[in-house]
Chains A and B, each alone.
Chain A
């Protein structure tokens, strides 16, 4: 039992505010049950002032999207010299921008679906149809479209027919100015959590995701009952090993710290493809990271309590 006092940051102004508030509440309750004193703070105009006056012993960032994942809040915490659990600002930026993370992994020879990055301005300048046609010629259908930044599948769309492409592009652009277009790899969806301790990063048991309607969109993610999960996922030994290695490699290659969650897909041949990595994974009642923690026989409060100790006492 720890008697520390920590602050949990959640909310913010991103499209994922609602999810973040739920993550923050669940994390805070878990920490309180381990004996910690927790203050829940929104990332607003008051935040800097409160942190610098109240000075919690450590901060946990449960912000999703925007400031919580792009390193901005972490930079502020470094300025204030307040220990925090999780990745440092520079590595946050690398992981937050999906194409940057994919490029890093591809460079290391790890499988990730073929992709292309297209800002809104390209379409405006070159015309939508020539660009979309070229895209389909080069990568082929089906495609996965997502805003390059952000999570919870917001703005993400599967495109199976080229006629769906313009509308899917519009949908993705309503969440951000740049879209990541990936070749859709179909197969078994997995989420693999990574936790770091003094011996380095370790993969948690993979969580297998099976949305009842085939698409793991916002509703499928946050409506209990609409998606089936299996943790630990039933996987062949080889696939389980490759999935774990992929998540640990992503964590190491991108320089992540303390915790991360890699989303991956296993194709028919058993190849595990990297999709994206999250430095501030969701911690809600239907989120994947807590399922992995539980499948490892551990508790959310105990795990984050351990991360707090690492943040305060140093990580060596």
Chain B
């Protein structure tokens, strides 16, 4: 049986030739993302701003959004945010809490649901959520803390397991990925809520996974080929791990794509964000996390144990001369 090979054998692509272009592009994208978040803002869900949110499902054809907006406006709860779910006949309707209440979500929801039932007698309310301002502030804080700590904790681990340059590289890459994901939420205006934070953390985890695989190979090759220049060595490491990078990404994109198409619309935004994260992550593994090492001047000396440096000379061999029969 002939097996499928996603990447041909023995690729030898000079990826690092594009490192300046790629880095410039990454920086531009990060800047654009930050600008988008600043200018356009995120569509923050009630988890983070407080308020009430009701999911309404229409049994027959869904009335136009403008009509829904008008009728919700008549309930008298102020400006409503109305968002359509996937392809379903369902919308999420979001408003502030009735009395602008910071402390209470006591009677919230009821008024909105009652009003909706009156305006659209055939529609069903699928879920009701109310979050008071106080709780949403806490959720925002804990969400931000867990994201920051996850990034920091992981970078420290890499620093301990590898060298400081790798830790910095990982942190830089994480920042890149997280910034782009925020940009994605700003562009699409997909609701940013607690699930989105979970998505961000997933992207962070996945990114790291990728970084580690490539860094592990770089470390291995740095020990093996002491005399090789850093750029060819990084190119070699990327090429050697290329088929794994592609295969894993394809598998992930496949799984997430299925979840996106067939999964419940409630996690649509969540899945879409991770999907983007995997896509960006694949690019980053190749063209983002490795060039950082060039600038941070990683070299064979990074892994030479200081006392035994001279003794291990036997390992100074050229590539493909490591005892294997070619």
Q: State yes or no: do A and B come from one complex.
A: no
Q: Give the interface of A toward B (CB within 8 A).
A: none
B residues within 8 Å of A by Cβ? none
